[in-house]
Structure 1
Amino acid sequence: MKTITQRELAARSKAVLDEVEAGETYHITRNGTEIAEVRPLTTRRRFVPVEELQRKWRNAPAADYAKMRAEADEFYGDEDRVGEDDRD
Structure 2
Amino acid sequence: MLVVSAQHEITQRDLRNRSREIMDAVQNGQSFTVTRDGNRIGELIPLRRRRRFVPRGEFAAMSHTAPDISLDAFRSDQAATAEQEADDPYAR
TM-score by length of 1: 0.52
Change (3 A) 1:55 1:13: farther
Q: Matches of residues 3-42 of structure 1 in structure 2 within 5 Å?
A: 3-41=9-47
Matches of 2:54 and 2:21, distance apart in 1: 32
Alignment match of 2:66 (pick from 44, 60, 64): 60
Change (3 A) 1:58 1:22: farther
1:2 Cα deviation after fit: 1.7
Matches of 1:66 and 1:32, distance apart in 2: 61
- RMSD across aligned positions (CA): 3.1
**Gap runs ≥5 in structure 1:** 77-88
1:6 Cα deviation after fit: 0.5
Matches of 1:66 and 1:54, distance apart in 2: 23
Alignment match of 1:47 (pick from 51, 54, 63): 51
TM-score by length of 2: 0.51
Change (3 A) 1:27 1:63: same
Identity of aligned residues (%): 35
Following TM superposition, the consecutive aligned residue runs of length 4 or more in structure 1 with deviations greater than 4 angstroms are: none
